[in-house]
């Protein structure tokens, strides 16, 4: 009964903040402010005059690479094959070749279609009798795979050539995509992709339609027309030195976007990729709600769970009860860093906890400083792994700690965050985007737990610049390397700032959706952030806000916490940052 009452109370507590009131009003006005995808296309994609200018500009480029587009066309209906070929011929960039990989015997319709296109344009070839085979995709410097029926945007190869003139070292180039209706007339369901995110490639093959450097294909020895797309993407990502994203919708798929769920061949490719990365015993499976989960033995690292606390005995009791009952991973200790509790119920509870050898109470008196409390806990911890956990959290699945351990133990991973849910079951945390709402904010906040939208799924592994300190794990070595939490931050932003330092050392910050906890939010640190913390964060993060978070998409709204096309009246992140700065400077 109490928990049922907490759900609406938690919702009203969010709405009653200034930020919550604004979000609530925008939610009510959402249908009036929303911009449809068709309108977005008209505003953001090149018109005929733009394409004509691109044809002129393409000839003046200092570097004019040749692209090979390969269409695996066995059993392809002629009408679909025709649409794909036409989209290549209509490119605003001229240095390309198209290879139709359709081995004999072919239908008479496909033969006539191919012969007609070969006669019209000498850049079109068909693989088979009388034509050369396709060694690693053709003679082009970059190779792309185009499924029969799918089409390229007319500026796709121009944008790729333009990028290569700025980044000559790029070996894989990928871009956004959307779904094409069966008749090819309507586009819908765009998939806006983040910058290169190695962990997300374990959940979805968002490189399926990428341009890949031919020498890279030769190095791995796979034919782009014959290899499994996910296996090809994984193997190329392992060998490449540079992957670049074009933040434009340049591929239209009749199969729909994002790509279809994985099959058995894809799961085997993911397991093989893990083995090549030195992860022994990895198993890939499709789990509800239809997403990939990878598991492997977590080892036996000792974990120190550090929980700052002051009074709030009901929250702490609920948190510890869930940890002790719902944690299958056995090797952990709990350090409660008390910052001046005076409540008798809390002190009595501490006395009861003292009988459990896994739990220690550390006294840390003085004015509350979240960063200092966590650092104090880390100094006393004995574990190889440190887990910083708020006292208003509850574990929801038995293997939550094991899931975080397996990721934190990887040498290239610097920190790991979890999926946190409000008491009403909506998302509290699924990663942090720098620049969201002007400074940094939780993406997907208050979304449904299994949301899928134009930025993908909340149940995919993802890389971020930061994850929340409400449930944050890292190796002690990483914590010591970056110097722990910056104690100049009293309440807020120190978790984000520390993650940015970790990322700056070359480590990746990973979000896993398979470590699930409930989080009330605000009971540990309070709901009001000191102006000094916000001013310091604005000074530290201003450069990143200006350049843009690489794990977000520049074309999406920076006002909406749910990934969305910019609505009417939405302000860009630099304007939001300046407003944040002005508001904070006035306090």
Quick: pLDDT tens for 361-372: 999 999 999 999
For 186, 188, 192, 249, 254, the CA distances from 178, given in Å and listed in that order, are 10, 6, 9, 7, 9
Q: What are phi and psi of 420, to 5 degrees?
A: -115, 135
- Torsion over CA: 223, 225, 226, 229 (sign): positive
**Pure H helices in 192-336:** 214-220, 229-239, 264-276, 313-325
Q: What is the mean pLDDT of residues 415-435?
A: 97
d(CA 470, CA 466): 12
Give the model's pLDDT for residue 358. Answer: 96
Q: In the 8-state DSSP scheme, what is residue 87?
A: H
Q: Identify the weakest region by mean pLDDT among 256-270, 279-293, 494-508, 529-543.
A: 256-270
In this structure, are 202 and 330 located in the same domain? no
Cα pseudo-dihedral 456, 458, 461, 464, rounded to 10: 90
Give the model's pLDDT for residue 524. Answer: 57
Last residue of a domain, one of 260, 281, 315: 260
Residue 26 banded pLDDT, cuts 50, 70, 90:
very low
User: If we measure between CA atoms, which residue out of 198, 239, 576, 243 comes closest to residue 407?
Assistant: 198
Residue 43 banded pLDDT, cuts 50, 70, 90:
very high
d(CA 369, CA 377): 12
In this structure, are 303 and 251 located in the same domain? no
In this structure, are 320 and 210 located in the same domain? no
Total of domains in the chain = 2
Report the b/e string of 291-300 with b at 16+ CB within 10 A.
Answer: bbbbbbebee
In this structure, are 86 and 233 located in the same domain? yes
In this structure, are 349 and 214 located in the same domain? no
Give residues with Cβ within 8 angstroms of 69, minimum separation 6.
88, 96, 97, 98, 99, 143, 144, 146, 152
Instruction: Convert the pLDDT of each residue in 503-545 to its tens digit.
Output: 999 999 999 999 999 999 865 555 678 999 999 999 999 999 9
Q: What tokens appear for 277 in the block?
A: 């990365």
d(CA 266, CA 155): 31
Which CATH number goes with the domain that contains 392?
A: 3.90.550.10
Give the model's pLDDT for residue 424. Answer: 95
For 87, 356, 377, 385, the CA distances from 362, given in Å and listed in that order, are 67, 14, 7, 18
Give the model's pLDDT for residue 104. Answer: 67
In this structure, are 241 and 308 located in the same domain? no
- The answer to whether position 328 is within a domain reads yes
**Three-state secondary structure string covering 163-179:** HHHHCCCCCEEEEEEEE
Give the model's pLDDT for residue 523. Answer: 57
Instruction: Convert the pLDDT of each residue in 291-339 to its tens digit.
Output: 999 999 999 999 999 999 999 999 999 999 999 999 999 999 999 999 9
- The answer to whether position 27 is within a domain reads no
Provide the 10 A C-beta neighbour count for residue 207: 23
Q: Identify the weakest region by mean pLDDT among 94-103, 256-265, 289-298, 426-435.
A: 256-265
In this structure, are 302 and 245 located in the same domain? no
Q: Identify the weakest region by mean pLDDT among 54-68, 121-135, 383-397.
A: 121-135
In whole numbers, what is the pLDDT of the chain averaged over residues?
A: 90
Residue 356 banded pLDDT, cuts 50, 70, 90:
very high
In this structure, are 72 and 210 located in the same domain? yes
Looking at the DSSP bridge assignments, the partners of residue 434 are 440
3-state helix, strand, coil in the chain (%, to 5): 35, 20, 40
- Tokens 């990729």 correspond to 273
Give the model's pLDDT for residue 526. Answer: 57
In this structure, are 137 and 216 located in the same domain? yes
In this structure, are 551 and 462 located in the same domain? yes
Domain extent at residue 338:
298-585
- The answer to whether position 17 is within a domain reads no
- The answer to whether position 34 is within a domain reads no
Last residue of a domain, one of 231, 260, 289: 260
For 68, 101, 146, 202, the CA distances from 213, given in Å and listed in that order, are 10, 19, 15, 22
- Tokens 């914590």 correspond to 479
Could you tell me the pTM of the whole model? 0.91
Judged against a pLDDT cut of 60, whether residue 282 lies above it is answered with: yes
d(CA 10, CA 284): 37
Listing DSSP states for 33-58 in one string gives: H---HHHHHHHHS--HHHHHHHHHHH
Inter-residue contact 71 to 147 (CB < 8 Å):
yes
In this structure, are 199 and 304 located in the same domain? no
Looking at the DSSP bridge assignments, the partners of residue 360 are 335
Last residue of a domain, one of 204, 233, 260: 260
Give the model's pLDDT for residue 580. Answer: 85
Instruction: Convert the pLDDT of each residue in 97-153 to its tens digit.
Output: 999 887 666 778 887 888 899 889 989 988 764 444 444 456 799 999 999 999 999
- The answer to whether position 540 is within a domain reads yes
Inter-residue contact 223 to 125 (CB < 8 Å):
no
Judged against a pLDDT cut of 90, whether residue 75 lies above it is answered with: no
Percent of the chain with pLDDT over 70: 89
- The answer to whether position 475 is within a domain reads yes
Q: Identify the weakest region by mean pLDDT among 26-40, 203-217, 449-463.
A: 26-40
Q: What are phi and psi of 294, to 5 degrees?
A: -110, 135
Instruction: Convert the pLDDT of each residue in 244-254 to its tens digit.
Output: 999 999 999 99
Pairing of strands 96-101, 67-72: parallel
Give the model's pLDDT for residue 112. Answer: 85
- The answer to whether position 10 is within a domain reads no
- The answer to whether position 273 is within a domain reads no
In this structure, are 219 and 336 located in the same domain? no
């Amino acid at each position: 009964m109490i928990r049922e009452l907490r759900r609406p109370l938690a919702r009203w507590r969010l709405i009653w903040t200034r930020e919550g009131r604004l979000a609530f009003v925008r939610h009510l006005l959402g249908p009036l402010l929303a911009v449809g995808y068709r309108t977005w296309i008209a505003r953001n994609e090149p018109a005929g005059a733009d394409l004509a200018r691109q044809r002129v500009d393409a000839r003046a480029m200092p570097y004019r690479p040749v692209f090979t587009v390969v269409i695996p066309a066995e059993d392809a209906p002629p009408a679909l094959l025709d649409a794909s070929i036409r989209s290549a011929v209509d490119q605003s960039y001229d240095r390309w070749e198209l290879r139709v990989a359709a081995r004999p015997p072919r239908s008479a319709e496909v033969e006539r279609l191919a012969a007609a296109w070969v006669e019209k344009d000498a850049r079109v070839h068909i693989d088979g009798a009388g034509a050369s085979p396709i060694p690693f995709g053709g003679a082009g410097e970059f190779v792309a795979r185009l499924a029969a029926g799918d089409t390229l945007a007319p500026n796709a190869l121009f944008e790729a050539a333009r990028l290569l003139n700025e980044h000559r070292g790029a070996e894989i180039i990928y871009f956004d995509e959307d779904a094409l209706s069966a008749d090819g007339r309507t586009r819908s369901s765009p998939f806006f992709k983040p910058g290169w995110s190695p962990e997300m490639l374990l959940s979805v093959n968002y490189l399926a339609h990428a341009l890949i450097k031919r020498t890279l294909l030769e190095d791995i020895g796979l034919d782009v027309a014959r290899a499994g797309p996910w296996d090809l993407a994984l193997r190329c990502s392992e060998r490449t030195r540079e992957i670049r994203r074009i933040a434009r919708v340049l591929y239209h798929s009749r199969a729909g976007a994002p790509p279809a769920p994985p099959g058995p061949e894809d799961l085997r490719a993911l397991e093989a990729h893990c083995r090549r990365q030195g992860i022994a015993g990895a198993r890939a499976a499709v789990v509800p709600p239809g997403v990939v989960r990878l598991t492997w033995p977590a080892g036996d690292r000792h974990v120190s769970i550090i929980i700052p606390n002051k009074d709030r005995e009901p929250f702490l009791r609920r948190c510890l009860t869930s940890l002790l009952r719902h944690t299958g991973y056995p090797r952990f200790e709990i350090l409660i860093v008390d910052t001046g509790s005076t409540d008798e119920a809390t002190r009595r509870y501490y006395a009861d906890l003292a009988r459990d050898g896994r739990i220690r109470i550390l006294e840390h008196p003085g004015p509350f400083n979240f960063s200092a409390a966590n650092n104090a806990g880390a100094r006393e911890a004995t574990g190889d792994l440190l887990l910083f956990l708020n006292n208003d959290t509850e574990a929801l699945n038995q293997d939550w700690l094991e899931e975080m351990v397996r990721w934190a133990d990887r040498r290239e991973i610097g920190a790991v965050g979890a999926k946190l849910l409000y008491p009403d079951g909506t998302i509290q945390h699924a990663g942090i985007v720098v620049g969201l709402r002007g400074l940094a904010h939780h993406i997907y906040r208050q979304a449904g737990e299994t949301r899928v939208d134009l930025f993908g799924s909340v149940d995919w592994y993802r890389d971020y610049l930061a994850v929340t300190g409400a449930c944050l794990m890292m190796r002690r070595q990483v914590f010591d390397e970056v110097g722990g939490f910056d104690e100049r931050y009293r309440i807020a932003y120190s978790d984000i700032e520390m993650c940015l330092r970790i990322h700056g050392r070359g480590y990746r910050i990973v979000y896993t959706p398979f470590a699930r906890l409930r989080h009330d939010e605000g009971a540990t640190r309070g709901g009001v952030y000191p102006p000094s913390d916000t001013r310091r964060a604005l000074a530290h993060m201003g450069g990143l806000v200006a350049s843009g978070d690489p794990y977000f998409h520049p074309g999406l709204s920076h006002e909406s916490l749910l990934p969305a096309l910019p609505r009417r009246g939405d302000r860009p992140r630099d304007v939001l940052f300046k407003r944040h700065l002005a508001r904070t400077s006035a306090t």
